[in-house]
């Protein structure tokens, strides 16, 4: 599974891509977040959300996803047991669970991209989330791809949930084809 997908250049609004390309501060903030999602960027991400909202007014689908893994040091938002034999807390499957949001957290609108980040998959309904989300639109993703001098335009269909929401309802969902012995 790929952690990104290619963008169709013909479907992009070129005037928006150019507007984003001209805002080097915005590109640097988003690029910094993508390369190293650091909680210290929260003020810059809130500013970036305002810029994107002013330019584009992006909308959200009904659900967003986050893929996580029991391997390594990734924060699994309490959906695993932790410790030496870290495994998924099966009792939480398909049960909405409230989690405190104390830092920005990356989600994606694309379930397949989420699975590229790990076998633990959670979803959030976006109903009240809009004012608390930085949507990295296709046009912004294209501008970042150009800024990075990539050969192709790519996106992770990323949505950054900002800690302005404080609490978020997440549901642990099971992938259709488990790829881990921890399921």
Mean pLDDT score of the chain: 89
Q: Is 171 helix (H, G, I), strand (E, B) or coil?
A: strand
| pLDDT exceeds cutoff 70 at 12 | yes
Q: Is 53 helix (H, G, I), strand (E, B) or coil?
A: helix
Distance (Å, rounded) from C-alpha 32 to C-alpha 41?
Answer: 8
Residues 6+ apart with CB under 8 A from 115: 1, 67, 121, 175, 179
User: What residue spans define the domains of the chain?
Assistant: 5-173
DSSP string covering 89-146:
-GGGBT--EEEE--S-EEEES-HHHHHTT-SEEEEEE-TTTGGGEEE--HHHHHHHHH
Give the residue, 79 or 1, on which the prediction is more confident. Answer: 79
| pLDDT exceeds cutoff 90 at 30 | yes
Distance (Å, rounded) from C-alpha 167 to C-alpha 98?
Answer: 6
66 within 8 A of 116, measured Cβ to Cβ? no
Mean pLDDT value across residues 112-139: 94
Q: What is the pLDDT of residues 40-50, one digit of tens each?
A: 999 999 999 99
Most confident of 70-74, 118-122, 158-162: 158-162
Give the residue, 101 or 78, on which the prediction is more confident. Answer: 101
Q: How confident is the model at residue 77 (pLDDT cuts 50, 70, 90)?
A: confident
State pTM to two decimals: 0.90
């Amino acid at each position: 599974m790929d952690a990104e997908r290619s963008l169709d250049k013909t479907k992009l609004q070129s005037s928006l891509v150019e507007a984003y390309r001209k805002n080097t501060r915005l590109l640097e903030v988003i690029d910094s977040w993508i390369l190293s999602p650091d909680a210290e960027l929260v003020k810059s991400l809130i500013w970036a959300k305002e810029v994107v909202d002013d330019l584009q007014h992006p909308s959200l689908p009904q659900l967003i996803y986050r893929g996580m893994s029991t391997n390594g040091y990734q924060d699994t938002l309490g959906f695993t047991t932790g410790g030496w034999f870290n495994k998924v807390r099966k009792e939480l499957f398909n049960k909405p669970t409230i989690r405190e949001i104390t830092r920005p957290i990356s989600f994606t609108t694309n379930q397949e991209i989420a699975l590229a980040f790990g076998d633990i998959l959670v979803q959030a309904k976006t109903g009240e989330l809009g004012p608390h989300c930085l949507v990295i639109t296709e046009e912004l993703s294209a501008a970042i791809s150009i800024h990075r001098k990539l050969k192709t335009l790519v996106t992770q269909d990323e949505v950054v949930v900002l800690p302005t929401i404080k609490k978020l309802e997440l549901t642990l969902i099971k992938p259709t084809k488990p790829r881990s012995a921890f399921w």
